[in-house]
């Protein structure tokens, strides 16, 4: 009896083990969702793509170069452009071999770690606090103003950025130190895609010559046209698309398939947009909105976000057409209402009470000139100068909304300085309460970087005079 | 006529072959010192041409553009020293993929504006002092860094144009403000891995 009981227990145990092993084996080899093997939760920076371990780790988990390549695949452009203060080559130079032993600056994970969200900041960034001191511990010898500063203050707002330390250098602080809070000429850059099409080598000029189209030029097949409403035709006709020769087939036709087969795309997605807007789509897929698409995962939804989102937006799909309504491509809607239809945090909710929104409304009504208003996109998807190739610099909308947020003083150059003085901008971005109420008021905190630069400059001018 | 041309050609080749000790037989390798000297000759010539034909011509003679350390913000030409460093970084990136021609180089000074360009290793310190104290002479040595042995050569970098000297003397971060034309202001350090 006892033997039988033992046998049953053993059989039950073996059965359970077989189920368990089968489950893990299935998850490891077949299932798309492998999060059960994760050593710790992901930060807000990568949680969207957490189901796909290989997105970061590659097929081999032991290859550190493969992991590094994954970082560079998505973050490399941000790291190198507009300027890389600490290129990898600086550390592969043999003269810095001793520094490399102190801090392995060849790999992103030396300073930024994943699977430890408890040490990440609110943006999802994990960053070592002491990375500067390994090479710059004697900085006070060269910069007396830095005497006594703690090792973890280098990256404080308005100061140093390892990847692009040119953003707020001393001469720049001096050049802008006496600016008013609001500049006399306060205007944001205008869009310019249509004017530079000739220079964009990847633009499909052969298929879609730049020429204004009319309703009689519509090239959708007859079976599609019968279902196409007058509203859709009108929307298309009044956009830049019709104006520069982008016909129905530009977006709806899959040129890789035979024309008569299933080549007509009912609802085009980013794969159609990329044919003409490759820079924009590439940036979109580097940011939190589109990073899943880059990994061939289902599109992000507000439901999956960690930031507060509106309940009724939970199941929206984050594609190009989520913000840019198909056929209309109304930029004003994409710049404000599209954002506010999902985002439900304090900063977003306070926008319509802000002076930025007030200016935006005045621009919309024609009371103020183009570029006077400040939309959500003006700051979070600003129009910036981007080297889209080694040979061409364009003003493009930066569709990676994260690129100037971490740290937020990266927003100073790309956005704030178009309208505000540098000191006002630095202080505002360091003021948490001001960020929360969407910059409705003046900053109540002060960052001393300009004061320090002013003193250094005065000391230098005095030395020159004495000489 | 054809025959005379042929004879001249043969004589010319023979003369060059016997007069020059730098002609190597097929399969023979270039001595590491000669390679370092050759690299420096190219670097120094390119930098001199950039300084004279681009920077000095456009900034001082034509007066059509500035050269600035903050070239992006100032919409200006990059300084000759920056041009040199950017080239060194690109070589560093490309040479890693070509082990047979792997080498690195940098511009350093005993009086650097950017303190990261001060000599660090003993070879750099000794070399920069030697070329400053012994005008016209180069410094050659061997050193081991990060477990790899290197042939290290140091060449004097001399202030050739008034603009080189005045800019360094006036810079707010310079530790020396009395350079004169012809002074050794720093040195080029070239490293070539040796010994496997």
Which candidate from A89, A101, A141 shows the least CB-CB separation from B92?
Answer: A89
Residue among A178, A165, A75 at smallest CA distance from A409: A165
Q: Which residue has the tokens 């303190």?
A: B115
Mean pLDDT, each 10-residue run in order, chain A (467 residues): 81 93 85 80 90 85 86 87 84 90 91 90 83 87 86 79 83 94 90 77 82 92 89 92 91 78 85 91 94 94 95 94 90 93 97 96 94 95 88 90 87 94 95 95 93 90 77
A98 to chain B, minimum CA–CA distance in Å? 7
What six digits make up the tokens of B16?
């060059």
A134 reaches B (C-beta below 8 A): no
Q: Tell me what pLDDT residue A463 has.
A: 79
Q: Tell me what pLDDT residue A258 has.
A: 66
Instruction: List Cβ neighbours of A107 (8 Å cut-off, separation of 6 or more).
Output: A64, A67, A68
pTM: 0.85
Contact B146 A464 (CB under 8 A): no
- Strands (E) located in B4-116: 104-108
Distance CA B191, CA B150 (A): 6
Q: Provide mean pLDDT across the span B140-150.
A: 95
Instruction: List Cβ neighbours of B78 (8 Å cut-off, separation of 6 or more).
Output: B67, B71, B86
Mutate to test the interface with A, among B89, B174, B191 (most CBs of A within 10 A): B89
A166 reaches B (C-beta below 8 A): yes
Q: DSSP 3-state assignment of A109?
A: helix
Residue of chain A whose Cα is closest to the Cα of B122:
A95
* pLDDT cut 70: percent of chain B above it: 88
Q: What angle do CA A421, A422, A426 make, to 5 degrees?
A: 125
Contact B89 A82 (CB under 8 A): no
Q: What DSSP string runs through A206-257?
A: TTS-S----GGG----HHHHTT--HHHHHHHHTSHHHHTT--HHHHHB-TTS
Q: Tell me what pLDDT residue A428 has.
A: 95
Q: Tell me what pLDDT residue B20 has.
A: 47
Mutate to test the interface with B, among A89, A96, A142 (most CBs of B within 10 A): A89
Residue among A396, A458, A400, A428 at smallest CA distance from A197: A396
Indicate if the pLDDT at residue B191 is higher than 90.
yes
Instruction: Please report which confidence band the pLDDT of residue B7 belongs to, taking 50, 70 and 90 as the band edges.
Output: very low
b/e code B26-55 from CB counts within 10 Å (16+ = b): eeeeeebeebbbebbeebbeebeebbeebb
Q: Tell me what pLDDT residue A191 has.
A: 79
Checking ipTM against 0.90, whether it exceeds it is no
Helix (H), strand (E) at residue A271: helix A270-273
- Where in chain A are the domains? 47-151
Quick one: chain B helix, strand, coil %, rounded to 5?
50, 20, 35
Mean pLDDT, chain B, as a whole number? 87
């Amino acid at each position: 009896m006892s033997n039988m009981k033992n046998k049953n227990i053993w059989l039950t145990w073996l059965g359970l083990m077989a189920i368990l092993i089968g489950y893990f084996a299935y998850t490891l080899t077949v299932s798309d969702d492998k999060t059960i093997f994760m050593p710790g939760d992901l930060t807000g920076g990568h949680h969207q793509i957490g189901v796909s371990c290989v997105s970061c780790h590659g097929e081999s988990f032991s290859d550190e170069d493969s992991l590094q390549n994954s970082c560079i695949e998505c973050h490399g452009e941000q790291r190198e452009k507009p300027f890389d203060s600490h290129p990898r080559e600086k550390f592969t130079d043999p003269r810095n071999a001793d520094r490399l032993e102190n801090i392995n600056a060849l790999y992103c994970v030396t300073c930024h770690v994943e699977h430890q969200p408890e040490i990440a900041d609110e943006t999802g960034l994990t960053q070592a606090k002491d990375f500067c001191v390994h090479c710059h511990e004697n900085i006070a010898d060269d910069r007396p103003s830095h005497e006594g500063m703690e090792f973890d203050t280098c990256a404080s707002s308005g100061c140093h950025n390892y990847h692009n330390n040119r953003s707020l250098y001393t001469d720049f602080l001096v050049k802008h130190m006496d600016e008013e809070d609001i500049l006399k000429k306060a205007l944001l850059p205008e869009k310019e895609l249509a004017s530079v099409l000739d220079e964009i080598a990847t633009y499909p000029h052969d298929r879609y010559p730049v020429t204004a189209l009319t309703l009689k030029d519509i090239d959708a097949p007859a079976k599609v046209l019968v279902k196409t409403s007058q509203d859709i035709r009108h929307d298309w006709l009044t956009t830049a698309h019709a104006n520069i020769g982008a016909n129905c087939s530009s977006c709806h036709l899959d040129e890789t398939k035979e024309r008569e087969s299933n080549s007509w795309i009912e609802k085009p997605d980013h794969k159609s947009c990329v044919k003409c807007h490759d820079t924009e789509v590439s940036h979109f897929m580097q940011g939190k909105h589109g990073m899943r698409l880059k990994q061939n995962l289902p599109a992000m939804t507000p439901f999956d976000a960690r930031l507060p989102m509106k309940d009724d937006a939970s199941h929206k799909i984050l594609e190009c057409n989520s913000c840019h309504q198909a056929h209309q491509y109304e930029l004003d809607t994409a710049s404000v209402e599209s954002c506010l239809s999902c985002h439900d945090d304090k900063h977003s909710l306070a926008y319509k009470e802000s002076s930025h929104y007030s200016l935006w409304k005045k621009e919309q009504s024609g009371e103020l000139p183009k570029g006077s208003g400040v939309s959500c996109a003006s700051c979070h998807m600003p129009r910036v100068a981007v080297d889209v190739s080694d040979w061409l610099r364009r003003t493009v909308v930066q569709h990676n909304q994260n690129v100037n947020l971490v740290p937020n003083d990266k927003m100073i150059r790309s956005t704030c300085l178009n309208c505000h003085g540098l000191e006002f901008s630095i202080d505002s971005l360091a003021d948490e309460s001001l960020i929360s109420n969407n910059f409705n008021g003046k900053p109540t905190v002060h960052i001393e970087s300009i004061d320090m630069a002013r003193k250094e400059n005065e000391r230098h001018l005095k030395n020159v005079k004495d000489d | 006529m054809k025959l005379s041309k042929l004879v001249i050609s043969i004589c010319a080749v023979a003369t060059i072959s016997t007069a020059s000790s730098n002609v190597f037989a097929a399969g023979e390798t270039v001595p590491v010192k000669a390679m370092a000297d050759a690299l420096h000759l190219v670097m120094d010539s390119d930098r001199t041409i950039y300084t004279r034909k681009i920077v000095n011509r456009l900034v001082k003679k034509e007066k059509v553009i500035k050269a600035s350390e903050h070239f992006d913000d100032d919409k200006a030409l990059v300084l000759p020293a920056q041009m040199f460093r950017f080239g060194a970084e690109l070589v560093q990136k490309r040479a890693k993929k070509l082990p047979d021609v792997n080498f690195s180089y940098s511009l350093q000074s005993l009086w650097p504006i950017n303190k990261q360009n001060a000599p660090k290793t003993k070879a750099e310190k000794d070399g920069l002092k030697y070329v400053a104290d012994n005008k016209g002479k180069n410094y050659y040595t061997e050193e081991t860094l990060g477990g790899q042995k290197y042939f290290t050569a140091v060449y004097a970098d001399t202030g050739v144009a008034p603009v080189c000297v005045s800019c360094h003397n006036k810079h707010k971060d310079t530790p020396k403000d009395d350079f004169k034309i012809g002074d050794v202001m720093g040195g080029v350090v070239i490293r070539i891995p040796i010994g496997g």
